């Protein structure tokens, strides 16, 4: 839908990412990973942090170190944050938390409904500054519609801000500031950790920008949009297809046919596939792309087991770079 697309061959020739640098960062990795859910209420005097997904518990753990117990409500790729329903145990954990970290933007509304007005909350969408005032008003309208029992989408705003590495640098700083207020004696410790993590994220950002692509992509969901755009690509996904997927329904035959034709064309550099929420139509779309030679890059909404955020984004960046050089 965006004019002036470049050919697939042209997009691939400009993918000059330094895979060696990225691999080094991934192997170095930070030892502080996300903490899975536990029924053990003993926190050993640590600050209790509850997050919506393991993306934010991982970052909170890296900033808080051994002084924080960060617990994600969702830490499995088998769970869909869009449709997750909070449990009584979730409500208890959130109520006991000294800090809550949520994505916001309508992504993890189950968590927003559990927090109290006087609770410390870091909202990644708000911290990112990516959403305009108009988009914020639209989101509030959609939220009210949801409370009335009507299905809603998220408007034109892409709420998957954790795929924007710069935004996560801001989130890391916000987490450090909040932890420093809870535990003022160790505020310098949190600030130093945040500075280290932010520096590592800066390395990832640099490698993403080095890809320097100049083509279009089609996505089964807009999850990796910020990363792909920072790599130089633009979103050619038909708006009607995105709207159908966002409303958890199939696209019309005409829209689906249009999308299939698009991924089979030379104007699209890759298909971004969210394997965490695949459907019959998205699987058919992947098959069409593979049959026509269009690279397919898989993405997830949560961090895979055994990785931290930096390693995960490094791997995603490598996959994009490799796809564009095929």
Pair (238, 192) in one structural domain: no
Of 17-26, 40-49, 99-108, 109-118, the least confident: 17-26
- Whether the pLDDT of residue 8 is over 70: the answer is no
Comparing 38 with 244, which gets the higher pLDDT? 244
Whether residues 267 and 188 share a domain: the answer is no
CATH number for 279: 3.40.50.1980
* 215 and 308 assigned to the same domain: yes
Residue 33's pLDDT is: 46
Measured distance CA(96)–CA(8) in Å, rounded: 51
Inform me whether the pLDDT recorded for 36 exceeds 80.
no
Number of H helices and number of E strands within the chain? 14, 8
Whether residues 255 and 277 share a domain: the answer is: yes
Residues 165 and 234 placed together within one structural domain of the fold: no
Instruction: Let me know whether 151 and 248 are in one domain.
Output: no
Hey, is 163 helix, strand or coil? helix
| Domains in the chain, number | 2
If asked whether residues 130 and 202 sit together in one domain, one would say yes
Contacts of 86 (CB under 8 A, 6+ apart): 73, 110, 111, 113, 114
In a domain, 2, yes or no: no
The rounded percent of the chain whose pLDDT value lies above 70 is 80
Q: What is the predicted pLDDT for the residue at 15?
A: 47
**73 and 200 in one domain?**
yes
What is the per-residue pLDDT across 226-253, written as a single tens digit (0 to 9) for each?
A: 999 999 999 999 999 999 998 889 999 9
Residue at which a domain ends, from 157, 184, 206: 206
Q: How confident is the model at residue 65 (pLDDT cuts 50, 70, 90)?
A: very high
The per-residue pLDDT for 230 is 98
The arithmetic mean of pLDDT across residues 54-64, rounded, is 99
Q: Is residue 22 part of a domain?
A: no
Q: What pLDDT, on a 0 to 100 scale, did the predictor assign at position 54? A: 97
Q: Does residue 29 carry a pLDDT above 70?
A: no
Q: CA torsion 189→192→193→198, rounded to 10°?
A: 160
pLDDT > 90? residue 284: yes
Range from 37-46, 99-108, 218-227, 293-302 carrying the lowest mean pLDDT: 37-46
197-223 tens-digit pLDDT: 999 999 999 999 999 998 999 999 999
Asked if residue 25 is part of any domain, the answer here is no
pLDDT at 74 over 50: yes
pLDDT at 40: 40
Q: What's the CA gap between 162 and 126, in Å, rounded?
A: 12
pLDDT > 90 in the chain, percent? 71
- Given a cut of 90, whether residue 144 has pLDDT beyond it is no
Tens digit of pLDDT for each residue in 149-188? Answer: 444 444 689 999 999 999 999 999 999 999 999 999 999 9
Q: Which domain holds residue 304?
A: 8-17+211-324
Q: Among the three residues 147, 176, 206, which one is the final residue of a domain in this structure?
A: 206
- Identify the domain boundary among 146, 179, 206: 206
Q: Does 311 share its domain with 215?
A: yes
> Is residue 40 included in any domain, yes or no?
yes
* Cα first-last separation, the chain: 24
Whether 88 shows a pLDDT value over 50: the answer reads yes
Is 23 a domain residue? no
With respect to residue 284, please indicate whether it lies within any of the assigned structural domains: yes
Residue 188 and residue 298 in one domain = no
Q: 23 pLDDT exceeds 90? A: no
Q: Is the pLDDT of residue 3 over 90?
A: no
246-276 confidence digits (pLDDT tens): 888 999 999 999 999 999 999 999 999 999 8
Residues 6+ apart with CB under 8 A from 188: none
Q: Are residues 120 and 267 in the same domain?
A: no
pLDDT at 142: 53
Residues near 5 by beta carbon (within 8 Å), at least 6 away in sequence: 215, 216, 234, 236, 267, 268
Q: Are residues 256 and 243 part of one domain? A: yes
Instruction: Identify whether 3 is part of a domain.
Output: no
Whether residue 244 lies inside any domain: the answer is yes
């Amino acid at each position: 839908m965006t004019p002036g697309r470049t050919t697939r061959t042209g997009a691939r020739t400009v993918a000059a990412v330094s895979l060696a640098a990225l691999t080094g960062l991934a192997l170095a990795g930070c030892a502080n990973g996300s903490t899975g859910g536990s029924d053990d209420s003993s926190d050993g005097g640590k600050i209790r942090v509850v997050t919506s997904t393991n993306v934010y518990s991982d970052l909170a753990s890296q900033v808080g170190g051994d002084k924080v117990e960060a617990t994600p409500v969702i830490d499995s790729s088998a769970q869909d944050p869009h449709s997750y329903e909070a449990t009584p145990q979730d409500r208890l954990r959130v109520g006991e938390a000294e800090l809550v970290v949520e994505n916001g933007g309508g992504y993890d509304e189950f968590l927003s409904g559990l927090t109290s007005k006087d609770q410390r909350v870091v909202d990644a969408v708000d911290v990112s500054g990516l959403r305009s005032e108009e988009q914020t008003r639209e989101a509030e309208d959609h939220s009210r519609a949801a409370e009335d029992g009507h299905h809603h989408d998220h408007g034109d705003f892409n709420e998957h801000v954790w795929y924007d590495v710069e935004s996560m640098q801001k989130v890391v700083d916000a987490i450090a500031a909040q932890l420093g207020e809870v535990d003022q004696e160790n505020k310098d410790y949190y600030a130093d950790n945040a500075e280290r993590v932010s520096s590592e994220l800066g390395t990832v950002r640099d490698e993403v920008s080095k890809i320097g692509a100049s083509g279009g992509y089609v996505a089964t969901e807009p999850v990796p949009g910020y990363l792909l755009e920072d790599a130089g690509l633009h979103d050619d996904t038909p708006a009607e297809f995105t709207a159908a997927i966002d409303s958890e329904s199939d696209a019309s035959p005409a829209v689906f046919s249009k999308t299939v034709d698009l991924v089979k064309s030379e104007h699209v550099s890759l298909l971004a596939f969210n394997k965490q929420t695949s459907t019959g139509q998205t699987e058919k779309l992947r098959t069409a792309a593979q049959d026509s030679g269009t690279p397919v890059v898989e993405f997830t909404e949560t961090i895979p087991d055994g990785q931290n955020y930096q390693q995960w984004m490094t791997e995603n960046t490598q996959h994009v770079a490799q796809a564009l050089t095929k």
